[in-house]
Structure 1
Amino acid sequence: MRAGEFEPVRGVEDLYVHDTGMFDTDEYGAVYVYDAERPIVIDTGTGANREALFESVEEIGIGREELGWILPTHAHLDHAGGAGYLAERYPNAEVRVPEKGVRHLVDPGALVAGTKSAVEEQWEYYAEPKPVPDDRIEGVAEGDRIDLGDRELVVHDAPGHAPHHAVYHDPDADVVFAADAAGIYVPEIDAVTPTSPPPQFDFEQCLDDIRLIEELDPDTLCFGHFGPRDCDADLLGEAKRAYVEWVERVREKRAELDDDEAVVDHFEAASRDIDYWNPERARANTSLNARGVLTYLDRVDSEE
């Protein structure tokens, strides 16, 4: 896929995936549009390329008065940064996000500051988020259900990537919207890589989140980065191995170098992400992931 394009998700009726062109990179950021009886947009992108998303929603056949739900999987701005813009454009849509994310979408100031600190020069690819009116948004938690009229989504907490992260399960269609809970899927190499951003990445909980998806046993897994993929034990086993190996590599390199900036520099230089993403995005992704693991290791050490 290319930035701004959308296509049907194979095997799931009425579901579409839209490529946001996030960070000027094809096949990196996905938004899902479910043309159900009460249509829903799952995740929103950064908000920077929102006009292309609006066009996709219109081409799918969903009018401005018809969208029923806006459902970020979590409050990170690459998934929820467009929520306020969508709420403005679609006046009848209700916004739902995991409970710990609600305050960040109503008043995004602290989240913006944290994001700018984490992504540094990559902030140029974000839109300044528009607050979601507090009378348009509510939190969701484990076991809650989103009524789409002819189907429903079941909420499952998945806080390994961030405390405000959930996955959404459509049991009738056997599809799970995993966001970042099972890592990043790279279509070009048909492989899963970890995502471990600071400051709240929790390695053990990430493994539990993948086990949760195993228990749900979907036919289709919809990654936030990037796209839908047939789901099987091999895929989820690969995801777990990727996290285990990544955390151990960072742990070992820290012990060897005893300098966190040198650790980050090492992994930036060694990263193969440049093979399938633009160089700027590849460096930024590797830096964030390394810093997230280092922060996690500090937290674990402090608790011992």
Structure 2
Amino acid sequence: MAIGDVEPVPDSTDIYYVDSGMYEVEKYGSVYLIDAEKPALVDTGIAADREAVFGMLDEVGVDDLAYILPTHVHLDHAGGAGYLAERYPDATVMTHELGAPHLVDPSRLVEGTKAAVEDQWRFYDEPLPIDEERVEGLTDGDEIDLGDRTLTVHHAPGHAPHQVMFHDDGDDVLFVGDALGIWEPRSRTLRQTSPPSQFHLQKALDDVRTIEDIDPETVCFGHFGPRPYDADLAEAYKRVLVEWVEAIRQKRAELGDDEAVIDHFVEHTQMDEVWGARKARDEERLNTRGVLGYLDYVGDDE
């Protein structure tokens, strides 16, 4: 699957995804289309990649969206929402109630994203604000009627307080956003995602337990793509999270300098042959900084 390619989600009914080409890296960013009676888009990718998303909608033959559903308002998942709302003026944009105001006025979101992603900002376009009357906030347990199926909303605040997951009861598909980490399909490995400034380990582990309770047939990752779910996947991500945070905790105790800790993990990335050196190093820096911030918040000895 190459950037811009569209494929059906296996063992699903009328669910598709596109490789959005995020950060100009193949198999990193995915956006999903549920071609239901009331069509819905789950996540949007960054604004700069909107043409790939438009292309999926055109290829599948969707003329009008009913819903635009970012799993959370980080701009790699919601940055294109304003452009999609502009293209589909009848669509309602729905995300967690904590994130909804940032789609109406994205200025603070842009400021925070620039601080978090640093040099990666060059891959972004500025998001468009969305009229307030078109944006609805979601809470845990809400249901979204797509006509021939229902999406149930599950709050998943470990990666970000404004993250939700959507469970499609028709095909038993769970759109997990970043709650189950990053699935790297070429190496078939799970990678942590722990960005600044609101990553929280214990809440992230609770999110994985929520996924275990739902026990879906298929999980759809924001990074990257669908795969069958099994209990081993959830256990693996819990282990990834705990080991990642502990590695950073120990390295901070050893080096006593946060920039040295970040440099250590950047220099020892194992993903350069998969994502390329630039993206691999950017990813390690982002995720290390997020854990350091979490340790500052809870205390290094928690």
Q: Does TM, scored on the shorter chain, surpass 0.5?
A: yes
**Deviation of the 1:50 alpha carbon:** 0.8
Q: Distance in 2 between matches of 1:134 and 1:273?
A: 40
Equivalent residue, structure 1, for 2:56: 56
Q: Distance in 2 between matches of 1:255 and 1:55?
A: 49
Tell me if structure 1 keeps the 8 A contact 2:158–2:179.
Answer: yes
**Deviation of the 1:119 alpha carbon:** 1.0
Equivalent residue, structure 1, for 2:38: 38
SS at match of 1:26: coil
Aligned match for 2:146, one of 145, 148, 151 = 148
Identity over the aligned pairs, expressed in percent? 55
Aligned match for 1:81, one of 50, 56, 79 = 79
Q: Which amino acid aligns with 1:15?
A: I
Equivalent residue, structure 1, for 2:10: 10
Please show how residues 130-141 of structure 1 align to structure 2 within 5 Å: 130-141=128-139
Please, which moves more after superposition, 192-201 or 170-179? 170-179
Q: Which amino acid aligns with 2:95?
A: V
The C-alpha deviation readout for 1:92-147, integer Å capped at 9, x for no partner, is 11100100001111000011011111111111111100001111111011010111
Q: Distance in 1 between matches of 2:165 and 2:5?
A: 24
Equivalent residue, structure 2, for 1:295: 293
Q: Distance in 1 between matches of 2:128 and 2:279?
A: 24
Q: Distance in 1 between matches of 2:277 and 2:88?
A: 36
Equivalent residue, structure 2, for 1:182: 180
Q: Distance in 2 between matches of 1:278 and 1:146?
A: 39
Q: Which stretches of structure 1, 4 residues or more, deviate above 3 A after TM superposition? A: none
Q: Distance in 1 between matches of 2:52 and 2:243?
A: 37
Q: CA, structure 1 residues 302+234, in 2 after alignment: closer, same or farther (shift >3 Å)?
A: closer
Q: Distance in 2 between matches of 1:46 and 1:57?
A: 16
Q: Distance in 2 between matches of 1:280 and 1:132?
A: 33
**Deviation of the 1:303 alpha carbon:** 10
SS at match of 1:285: helix
Q: Distance in 2 between matches of 1:211 and 1:171?
A: 19
Equivalent residue, structure 1, for 2:22: 22
Q: Distance in 1 between matches of 2:189 and 2:199?
A: 21
The C-alpha deviation readout for 1:167-188, integer Å capped at 9, x for no partner, is 1111231110001001000001
Equivalent residue, structure 2, for 1:270: 268
SS at match of 1:178: strand
Q: Distance in 2 between matches of 1:217 and 1:98?
A: 22
Q: Which amino acid aligns with 1:54?
A: F
Q: Distance in 1 between matches of 2:82 and 2:113?
A: 17
Equivalent residue, structure 2, for 1:217: 215
Matched length: 302
Equivalent residue, structure 2, for 1:158: 156
Q: Which amino acid aligns with 1:37?
A: E
Please show how residues 103-252 of structure 1 align to structure 2 within 5 Å: 103-252=101-250
Q: Which amino acid aligns with 1:219?
A: E
Q: Which amino acid aligns with 1:27?
A: K
The C-alpha deviation readout for 1:232-269, integer Å capped at 9, x for no partner, is 01111111110011000000000000000000000001
Q: CA, structure 1 residues 289+47, in 2 after alignment: closer, same or farther (shift >3 Å)?
A: same
Structure 2 unmatched ranges of 5 or more: none
Q: Which amino acid aligns with 1:151?
A: R
> Would you say 1:47 and 2:44 are equivalent positions?
no
> Would you say 1:96 and 2:94 are equivalent positions?
yes
**Deviation of the 1:191 alpha carbon:** 1.2
The C-alpha deviation readout for 1:37-85, integer Å capped at 9, x for no partner, is 000110000110211211110110101xx21100000010000000000
Q: If the length of structure 2 is used for normalisation, what is the TM-score?
A: 0.98
Q: Distance in 2 between matches of 1:188 and 1:286?
A: 19
Tell me if structure 1 keeps the 8 A contact 2:157–2:164.
Answer: yes
Tell me if structure 1 keeps the 8 A contact 2:19–2:52.
Answer: no
